[in-house]
Structure 1
Amino acid sequence: MAILNDDSTGPEASDVQSKMSINTKASKNLRRIAIISTLGGLLFGVDTGVINGALSYMSSPKELNLTPTDEGLVTSGITLGAAIGAIAAGRLADKFGRKRVLLYLSFVFFAATAICSIAPNALILIIFRFLLGLAVGGASVIVPTFLSEMSTPAIRGRLVTQNELMITGGQLLAFIVNAALGSIFTNVSNIWRYMIAFGMVPAVLLFFGMLTVPESPRWLTMQGRTKEALSTLTEIRPDKASSEREIQQIKDTLAQEKETAQARFRDLGKPWIRRLVLIGIGLGVMQQIIGINIMMYYGTTILMKAGFGHSAALIANISNGLVSVVATYIGMRMMNRVNRRRMLLTGITGTSISLVLIAIVSATLSHSSLLPFFVILLTMSFLGFFQGCISPTTWLLLSEIFPQNLRGLGMGVSTFFLWFSNFLVGFFFPILMSAIGLSLTFVVFVGCNILSFIFAYKFAPETRGKSLEQIQLEFKYGDDSGVNPESK
């Protein structure tokens, strides 16, 4: 009798062990897919972060002899391209699939990076930084969408924000490579070319990695390829029954949304769709005008203005990248435990205080040897709040709020405005700093933070713990819990 009742033997135990094995395999498959697809995020980080250290070298008279306007265009040209790439990639991903478009983008990443590294003048560099931006913008739309469609509500927050971790990891990697090359080759003025060329490495990894990744099951279902969708889901879900239920749920949602099946701009005439697209646009603009990319693009320049030497600024900037990665990881762990709105409002409060203090110390300690150390501590504080609270929450919300048949278009429109705002910030920052100085420039961004807080408080939706279909229905039929989390 003891043998018959032993929990470690018999058919029941065998079933349990089989299910555990399936769960482990599904989890590993999902992690592998997430790691490979987020190489797009790593490239995003490397290609936007590398300019931080390379700019001061390429601006020198011995190299490209850039003016403040040239610096703004070289730096922000990538984000102007990203604005266009974001809106185009959303439509292309809806038509050709998430996987195929990411595969094609890896070619663009590689070729544009290679030409940027050998650019003979500012014009060629600006043009190909713009073309590189097409791939960056495309990745910024497709990777979060792809991850959102691969995940379940329980892990969606952690999985989608893994892309943000890879972005900040790519920026940190770029900062480390910049500092290493700048410290080793101290008298080599064209070292910026090697800094930029490093971006070709993750582009190659993305290409070969995407060859092994399946297509999004949600996109396959939209195309009527249900068997393929089910096959994919059974590899990344605990059991076949849950996969079949998910396929049916997607089908039901698509059936209810036949009127928007083709995802055209004319669908914006419907009030509920227009409202959520405007919220998406607002979230994208809000994220950028807070001022993150004055730190990520001009961090080395800011530290040199504050009093650090060139090599010291490159090395100190690594701490900014490290804080970004750690904060993103912490934010990723908090995502399923803390409401989205609370994350946003806490983050904006922190970035606002950090910018106010930077403005104060840069005005009152302008001739003090303590200024660079205060500035680096406060930029680290700013980045901690932004990368831990604001950035991952924004990208997660953008991946969640749009209905399935409009997700590509909605993400594209929203991230177009996000990247265009990024372009404006990147372009005008060196011009502002040259015209009104470091302290007053930060005062301008304090005002932008206040506007962002007001928007987030009034319009940011709460989506934690809800399926994508539930979020869609709440927006469509006016359920307050889809818009105002304070009621929850």
Structure 2
Amino acid sequence: MEEGLLGESLIIDEAKPLCRNGSSSATDMSKRSSKSSTTAVIVLSTLVAVCGSFCYGCAYSVFGSILTVGGMIGAIFSGRIADIFGRKGAMGLSVIFCTIGWLAIALTKDSLWLDLGRLSIGFGIGITSYVLMIACGFSLFYLIGNVISWRALALIGVIPCLLQLTGLFFIPESPRWLVKIGREKEFENALQRLRGKNSDCSEEATDIRDHLETSQQHSEAGILDLFQRKYANSLIIGVGLMLLQQFGGFTALAYYASAIFVEAGVSSSVGSALVAIIQIPAVVLGVLLMDKAGRRPLLLGASAANSIGLTGIPWVIMSEIFPINVKASAGSLVTLVHWSCSWIVTYTFNFIMGWSSAGTFFIFAGVYAAAVLFIAKMVPETKGKTLEEIQASLTQQQ
């Protein structure tokens, strides 16, 4: 998985590893077993990535729609930043902007700096939304926001930034990015670290090089180059999932959960606690089921239970469906669509609720019903496939 949620950060460079433990004469059973192995480096890389996403969740829960404006600006540059500085470099740059933003919010005595702090956090989030996108901070801030001040919340938001910045020194860079820029030795070392020192990564390395060589026969594409027939399916799937995710009300519910509970006759503190209690196990369940049940069935089911899948899996799908020569531009475009729709939903939610509370949620329900049909018709299953296999299957569908 590259350049999306749980993907193209450094965590797992494709949907199904091809490395083989032991020698080339190992049995088929041992090969299959090694494909599903999880190394300590992969676990550490995942934890480092989650720290950045934690910050994303914290900011989402605390601040208003100006955050999404920063996200839109960051999204425009996210793909190029990830390609120029690498996936680790993009996360490091994001940490700097998020830390500056949190400190500005915590220490400010002026509303202008409060807004600039929000904007800085949004920009940092927008950069890494192309690299990773897991809302791990929602639930904690729903809980502790009831008992501590907003300045203390902002200082707490600095903690995951510092943890991530430290963790970046101990995890490898994305192997695909390394081979793309010609750093062959580092590519081999990074791949070996991710798969384990006793794994034979020669077949996987060959596949990655072959796919890169094929894709580099085409020049690096800009956003306008995406609007070609050969990219149509990938673009429709990537943009469509983001539209359905946002217009299904996910962002509005995240921002206005407390107000919604109050209008329903439940205290904001109790309502926030309920959201946290439900959301944490739901997100964990989604992560556990993603590779066991597959992306497509989970997306279909998640249209009725958002936190399990439709929150995060669209980012995983986005990371898997675009060829490497358009990945930067496609990632920026899809992420820009996400943040633009997020701003629209956040800005208009109160107006729509003023028109009709029941009507608002009927609209959201209708969008998720449409999501079920869209996913069933358009979204391929990517579980257990390498990025190269996914590209081949999308090409055959055209």
Q: TM-score, normalised by structure 2?
A: 0.85
Counterpart for residue 450 of structure 1: 369
Separation in structure 2 between the aligned mates of residue 268 and residue 472 of structure 1, nearest angstrom = 15
**CA apart distance, 1:441:** 2.4
SS of structure 2 residue aligned to 1:405: coil
Distance 1:123 1:426, change over 3 A: farther
1:362-441 counterparts in 2 under 5 A?
A: 385-433=305-353, 435-441=354-360
Q: 1:216 aligned to 174, 198, 202, which one? A: 174
- Cα deviation code 1:141-168 (max 9, x no counterpart): 112xxxxxxxxxxxxxxxxxxx63xx2x
Separation in structure 2 between the aligned mates of residue 268 and residue 244 of structure 1, nearest angstrom = 32
**CA apart distance, 1:270:** 3.1
Aligned residue-pair number = 369
Q: Is contact 1:90-1:409 (8 Å) kept?
A: yes
Counterpart for residue 92 of structure 1: 81
Distance 1:428 1:126, change over 3 A: farther
Identity %: 27
Aligned: 1:128 with 2:117: yes
Q: 2:137 aligned to 159, 170, 189, which one? A: 170
Q: Is contact 1:87-1:411 (8 Å) kept?
A: no
Distance 1:315 1:119, change over 3 A: farther
Extract unaligned runs of 5+ from structure 1: 1-11, 52-74, 144-162, 182-190, 351-384, 481-488
Q: Is contact 1:402-1:472 (8 Å) kept?
A: yes
SS of structure 1 residue aligned to 2:170: coil
Q: Is contact 1:260-1:267 (8 Å) kept?
A: no
Counterpart for residue 141 of structure 1: 130
Q: Is contact 1:220-1:229 (8 Å) kept?
A: yes
1:176-195 counterparts in 2 under 5 A?
A: 176-181=143-148, 191-195=149-153
Aligned: 1:27 with 2:39: yes
Residue identity opposite 2:114 in structure 1: L
Separation in structure 1 between the aligned mates of residue 35 and residue 199 of structure 2, nearest angstrom = 13
Separation in structure 2 between the aligned mates of residue 25 and residue 450 of structure 1, nearest angstrom = 36
Q: Is contact 1:263-1:409 (8 Å) kept?
A: yes
Distance 1:24 1:200, change over 3 A: same
My pick for the range that moved more, 204-213 or 90-99, is: 204-213
Separation in structure 2 between the aligned mates of residue 278 and residue 126 of structure 1, nearest angstrom = 34
Residue identity opposite 1:392 in structure 2: G
Q: 2:393 aligned to 443, 467, 474, which one? A: 474
Q: Is contact 1:23-1:238 (8 Å) kept?
A: no
Counterpart for residue 50 of structure 2: 38
Aligned: 1:205 with 2:163: yes
- Cα deviation code 1:311-354 (max 9, x no counterpart): xx224312212211211111222212324222222222x2xxxx
Separation in structure 2 between the aligned mates of residue 83 and residue 24 of structure 1, nearest angstrom = 36
Q: 1:464 aligned to 377, 383, 393, which one? A: 383
Separation in structure 2 between the aligned mates of residue 479 and residue 415 of structure 1, nearest angstrom = 24
Counterpart for residue 61 of structure 2: 49
Q: Is contact 1:230-1:247 (8 Å) kept?
A: yes
Separation in structure 2 between the aligned mates of residue 329 and residue 82 of structure 1, nearest angstrom = 25
Separation in structure 2 between the aligned mates of residue 208 and residue 238 of structure 1, nearest angstrom = 22
SS of structure 1 residue aligned to 2:75: helix
Separation in structure 2 between the aligned mates of residue 238 and residue 99 of structure 1, nearest angstrom = 20
Q: Is contact 1:179-1:315 (8 Å) kept?
A: no
Separation in structure 2 between the aligned mates of residue 24 and residue 479 of structure 1, nearest angstrom = 28
Counterpart for residue 114 of structure 1: 103
Separation in structure 2 between the aligned mates of residue 86 and residue 213 of structure 1, nearest angstrom = 24
SS of structure 2 residue aligned to 1:209: helix
Distance 1:122 1:426, change over 3 A: farther
Q: 2:235 aligned to 277, 282, 300, which one? A: 277
My pick for the range that moved more, 456-465 or 414-423, is: 456-465
SS of structure 1 residue aligned to 2:382: coil
- Cα deviation code 1:152-192 (max 9, x no counterpart): xxxxxxxxxxx63xx2x3111111220222xxxxxxxxx32
**CA apart distance, 1:48:** 0.9
SS of structure 2 residue aligned to 1:199: helix
**CA apart distance, 1:239:** 5.2
Q: TM-score, normalised by structure 1?
A: 0.70
**CA apart distance, 1:274:** 3.6
Counterpart for residue 8 of structure 2: none
Counterpart for residue 324 of structure 1: 279
Separation in structure 2 between the aligned mates of residue 432 and residue 82 of structure 1, nearest angstrom = 23
Residue identity opposite 1:388 in structure 2: I
Separation in structure 2 between the aligned mates of residue 451 and residue 87 of structure 1, nearest angstrom = 28
